[in-house]
Amino acid sequence: MKSCLIKYESLINVLKTYDCIAVAFSGGVDSTLLLKAAVDALGRNVVAITSDSPVHSRREIEAAIQYAKSQGIHHIVCDPGMMDADGFVENTAMRCYHCKQRMFLQMSKDVSSLGVSNVVHGVNCDDLEDYRPGLKAAEELGIKAPMVEAGLFKVDIRELAEFFGLAVAHKPAMSCLATRIPYGEPITEEKLSMIEAAENALYDLGFLQFRVRHHDSVARIEFSQDDLKRLFDLNQMAPVVKAVRGAGYLHVAADLEGYGQGRMNRVLNEGA
């Protein structure tokens, strides 16, 4: 824990180099810890800003709104008009680049009216190892990553979140709903709505870590090993099928390989 607290102090020192900042706030563990650190460093000179579009779960957006409200943090919800971005809806391998570019442009514009010129996001050192073209868009726009500067990894962030008593300390990793759709298949609000409804239904059934991958009329669900065990040991197949078909899918499949972040990126590596 000592090493984590040293890194947290480094994070505070990084944030203190700003007069005021806006934190891109999704409500996940990374951005929640970053927001807490920003408030610890700068007090009331902090704005939280959350993107509201069909690619983000309404459940997550509402959770972010409630958290900021409970902490008395000035909070803005912005609409980046994501579904109007051709480079995004075409769903090429650069989808994440176009998504982050549009989102951060809108965030920067919205907070500039408040006199805030610096936007930061909750990228950590582990994120640098994955295929994330959105990081390039953020860098080009001058969006800073203080947790990378402070040397924080995901394990550090979760440990610190638990130490500080943040409710999201053990919250499963989330990603935008568009990551559930295979590259090359256009992103539509109908597809995103089906994915969101199916995942909400699975959360309501008690599953915690999973992804509903969208393959036309087929939902291929990647469950964590714990959730796979729950699926089979507690005979949850019938409720899962009913719930996911209720979201509009004709067929429901459980991926035997289980949950894995960035699994849809395999096609970019020739099936590796």
Taking only the tens place, the pLDDT of each residue in 50-104 is 999 999 999 999 999 999 999 999 999 999 999 988 789 999 989 999 999 999 9
| pLDDT tens figures, 210-257 | 999 999 999 999 999 999 988 887 778 999 999 999 999 999 999 988
Is pLDDT of 164 > 80? yes
Q: Which tokens sit at 211?
A: 């992804």
Q: Is the dihedral of CA 64, 192, 52, 26 positive or negative?
A: positive
pLDDT value, residue 15: 97
Place of tokens 């559930």: 180
Residue 132's SS3 state is coil
Burial class (CB in 10 A: 0-12, 13-18, 19+), 138: buried
| pLDDT tens figures, 31-49 | 999 999 999 999 999 999 9
Residue 198 near residue 212, CB atoms below 8 Å: yes
| Residue 129 pLDDT class (50, 70, 90 cuts) | confident
pLDDT value, residue 131: 74
% of the chain surpassing 90 pLDDT: 80
- Note the pTM of the prediction, 2 decimals: 0.89
Rounded to an integer, what distance in angstroms lies between the CA atom of residue 134 and that of residue 238? 38
Terminal CA-to-CA distance of the chain, rounded, Å? 36
pLDDT value, residue 262: 64
Q: Which amino acid is at 130?
A: D
In this prediction, residues 128-149 reach a mean pLDDT of 90
pLDDT value, residue 271: 45
What phi and psi, each to the nearest 5 degrees, are found at residue 228?
A: -65, -45
